[in-house]
Amino acid sequence: MSKTLVMNFLTAEGKKTSIRFKDVKEAVTPTEVSTVMDTIIEKNIFITTNGELKLKDSAQIVDTTTEELAI
């Protein structure tokens, strides 16, 4: 089982973009995620082809399981 944090932002051009972090810790809180997203925007850490990240849109944790099949 693998958990990935997906943080979605709106760019200066109004386009959606996302940043993914694999193997996120079990006890991550919405407040921690919101703070990280604010810091990313404030520090202008990432710039996309559609401009700077300007607004938080949403965030989710995607839980993926892999099942091996005997073939």
pLDDT at 66: 86
Place of tokens 């005997």: 70
The dihedral through the CA atoms of 41, 43, 45, 46 has a sign that is positive
SS3 44: coil
Of residues 37 and 46, which shows the higher confidence score? Answer: 37
pLDDT at 10 over 80: yes
Which of the residue ranges 24-28, 31-35, 40-44 would you say has the lowest mean pLDDT? 24-28
pTM over 0.75: yes
Domain edges within the chain: 2-64
1 band by pLDDT with thresholds 50, 70 and 90: confident
